[in-house]
């Protein structure tokens, strides 16, 4: 029997590789001689760097960069096993958790540190960069990221504008003549499940700015500034990005990446599947086990288990998910390739209790799953 284990991380608890190892432990109790392939997975959000580094035997690099408020912070990114691909989570340098609640103000916060991570990856010879863009503290349209890579955003006196979405109101001209030349030789992929445009009712300011600390008056100002930003990009760079799906992701970082790095936005789990070579690893598998911390109605929208299941179904491989808990609407996953769900909680317990016992609960759930399968197979 060949079993492929391809879970996401259990957020704020276990990495995807740790989950996979615990699932394997339970399988071995029932099928000690099974051929087991462990493939840590992710969907572009939290944990993607660790999952891809683990899956490809890469390494984590730590850097000091400019945080959302302009002060230095410690951030990290991954270089994959091919030594040519970097994986960056923008939240590591420009994420909302880096800003105290009483200081959250997207008029001021910047993506400059994310640009510094991209530059660091270029300095290490990477010419393929994957950027996960969830969890931002910013609504600057990726302006700070661009500035870190040499783009000059100038006011009417020819001076560099400051950081944050508020400063975009002073933008008069964009000069890319000094942008890092290595960008032209680099493939940039954006991992995102968000298709919001940069501006408008579903744009970066109106939908996401309130989550980052913006008041209604701030939202109006940010919307106005992003429209100005888009119009100047169109005039100076001949790129019309205002209504492009995905440009509103991460406070408009999607727009900046598309505009200045010629990035392509793709569903995060699809990028991960391609990068780890999951298609090849599933070959001849009898069963695929995936999983995540909580499975509910939102799982069908670009989350790891569904991406894994869709691929497995191309080869008629059954798919079971081992999850920490199930939520409302979980039955929707059955129409998207998941054949069964096994929860790790055998009796009522609090979330903290489940987290504390996960190293025992996950192997036990895996064992119970395999015993049920054994009844059918044998």
What ranges do the domains of the chain cover? Answer: 2-39+284-377, 48-268
Give mean pLDDT, residues 99-128.
97
Tell me the pLDDT band of 184, cut-offs 50, 70 and 90: very high
Please indicate whether the domains covering 2-39+284-377 and 48-268 agree at the CATH topology level.
Answer: no
Question: Among 182-186, 243-247, 285-289, whose mean pLDDT is lowest?
Answer: 243-247
Q: How far is CA 176 from the centre of its chain?
A: 28
Q: Confidence band (pLDDT; 50, 70, 90) for 351?
A: confident
Q: Do 226 and 195 contact (CB within 8 A), yes or no?
A: no
pLDDT, position 42: 93
- Beta partners for residue 340, in sequence order: 320
What value does the mean pLDDT of the chain take? 95
Angle of the 268-276 helix axis to the 304-313 helix axis, nearest 10: 60
What are the CA-CA distances from residue 131 to residues 35, 95, 326 (Å)?
A: 33, 13, 29
**pLDDT at position 375:** 86
Question: What pLDDT, on the 0 to 100 scale, is given for residue 217?
Answer: 97
Q: By mean pLDDT, which of 128-137, 204-213, 349-358 is the weakest?
A: 349-358
User: How many CB atoms lie under 10 A from the CB of residue 6?
Assistant: 32
pTM here is 0.90
Confidence of residue 134 (pLDDT cuts 50, 70, 90): confident
Q: Out of 3.90.420.10, 1.10.150.20, 3.40.50.10350, 3.50.50.60, select the CATH number for domain 2-39+284-377.
A: 3.40.50.10350
In order of 192, 251, 285, the CA distances from 365 in angstroms are: 31, 40, 20
Please compute the mean of the pLDDT values over residues 42-71 and round it to a whole number.
95
The residues that bridge with 343 in the sheet, in sequence order, are 323
Which helix (H) or strand (E) segment holds residue 117: the answer is helix 112-123
Q: Taking a C-beta distance cutoff of 8 angstroms, is the pair 72, 112 a contact?
A: no
User: 48-268 has which CATH code?
Assistant: 3.90.1510.10
User: Distance (Å, rounded) from C-alpha 360 to C-alpha 365?
Assistant: 9
Give me the residues paired with residue 321 across strands: 290, 341
Question: Average pLDDT of 204-222?
Answer: 96
In this model, does residue 377 exceed pLDDT 80?
A: no
7, 291 Cβ separation under 8 angstroms: yes
pLDDT for 244 equals 93
Rounded-to-integer distance, Cα 356 and Cα 350, Å = 10
Q: Is the pLDDT of residue 378 over 50?
A: no
Share of the chain above pLDDT 70, in %: 99
């Amino acid at each position: 029997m060949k079993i492929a284990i391809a879970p996401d991380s259990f957020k704020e608890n276990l990495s995807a590789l740790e989950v996979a190892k615990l699932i394997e432990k339970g399988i071995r109790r029932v099928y000690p001689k099974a051929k087991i392939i462990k493939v840590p997975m992710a969907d572009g959000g939290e944990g993607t760097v660790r999952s891809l580094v683990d899956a490809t035997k890469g390494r984590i690099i730590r850097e000091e960069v400019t945080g959302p408020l302009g002060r230095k912070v410690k951030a990290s990114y991954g270089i994959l096993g091919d030594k040519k691909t970097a994986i960056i989570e923008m939240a590591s340098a420009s994420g909302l958790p880096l800003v105290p609640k009483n200081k959250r103000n997207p008029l001021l916060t910047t993506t400059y540190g994310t640009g510094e991570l991209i530059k660091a990856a270029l300095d290490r010879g990477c010419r393929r960069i994957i950027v996960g863009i969830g969890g931002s503290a910013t609504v600057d349209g990726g302006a700070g990221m661009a500035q870190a890579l040499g783009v000059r955003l100038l006011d009417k006196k020819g001076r560099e504008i400051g950081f944050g979405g508020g400063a975009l109101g002073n933008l008069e001209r964009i000069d890319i003549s000094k942008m890092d030349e290595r960008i032209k030789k680099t493939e940039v992929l954006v991992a995102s499940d968000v298709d919001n445009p940069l501006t408008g009712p579903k744009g970066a300011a109106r939908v996401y700015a309130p989550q980052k600390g913006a008041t209604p008056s701030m939202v109006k100002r940010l919307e106005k500034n992003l429209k100005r930003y888009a119009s100047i990009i169109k005039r100076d760079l001949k790129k019309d990005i205002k209504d492009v799906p995905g440009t509103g992701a991460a406070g408009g970082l999607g727009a900046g990446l598309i505009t200045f790095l010629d990035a392509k936005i793709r569903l995060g789990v699809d990028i991960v599947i391609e990068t780890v070579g999951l298609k090849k690893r599933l070959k001849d598998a009898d069963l695929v086990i995936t999983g995540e911390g909580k499975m509910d109605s939102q799982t069908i929208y670009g989350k790891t288990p569904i991406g894994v299941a869709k691929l497995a179904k191309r080869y008629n491989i059954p798919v079971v998910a081992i999850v920490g808990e199930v939520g409302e609407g979980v039955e929707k996953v059955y129409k998207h390739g998941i054949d069964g769900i096994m929860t790790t909680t055998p009796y009522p317990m609090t979330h903290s209790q489940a987290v504390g016992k996960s190293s025992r609960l996950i192997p036990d759930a895996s064992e119970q799953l395999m015993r049920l399968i054994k009844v059918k197979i044998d």
